[in-house]
Amino acid sequence: MRAIRALAGFVCFAALCACLHAQTEGTISIRLLDGKTGLPVKASNFLVRIDHHDTIHSEWVKINDDGSVIVTLPADAKEISVKATYDMSMATYINCDAAKQTDKERNLWYPVSIILKAGVVAPNECGKTDFLAKPGEFIFFVRKRDWRDRPED
């Protein structure tokens, strides 16, 4: 009987912790678009970093069957950097917010608080597009690598 009571108490405690944990996270949706056409791009995976750390958090990303992407961030995340991979490999798209810069590989950071409050559309140096983001939405543009891009390290 004591074991059942202890187990029930543990289950209640775990449920309470899960509820509190869910309330402290920030959830954003990501739209990945082709930099030239503005059409949706389906990535193999997303490489998410927060707060200028090198650690990649693909486990925070949920890619739905319809191609929509949801990222669940910890509550203390201040800035986010996102890259996408293609062809079921670790080859990353070139982010169009850095496409004309000499260091196309560098991470560009966007404030999570602004994404959650108003939404953010990253700059598009690959073409002319006109999109508006909704609160909680991050839109960024990419292009596949070509022969002019230096190989990944």
- Note the pLDDT of residue 19: 41
CATH (residue range 25-143): 2.60.40
pLDDT by residue (tens digit) across 25-66? 789 999 999 999 999 999 999 999 999 999 999 899 999 887
- Note the pLDDT of residue 22: 40
Q: What is the DSSP string of 111-143?
A: EHHHHHHT-EE---SSS-----PPTTEEEEEEE
- Note the pLDDT of residue 88: 85
Q: Calculate Rg over the CA atoms of the chain.
A: 19
- Note the pLDDT of residue 84: 92
Would you mind telling me the total number of residues written for the chain in this entry? Answer: 153
- Note the pLDDT of residue 20: 40
Q: Which amino acid makes up residue 124? A: N
pLDDT by residue (tens digit) across 63-113? 988 778 999 999 999 999 999 999 888 888 989 987 666 667 788 899 999
- Note the pLDDT of residue 18: 45
pTM: 0.76
Q: What angle do CA 100, 29, 105 make, to 5 degrees?
A: 25
Report domain extents, the chain.
Answer: 25-143
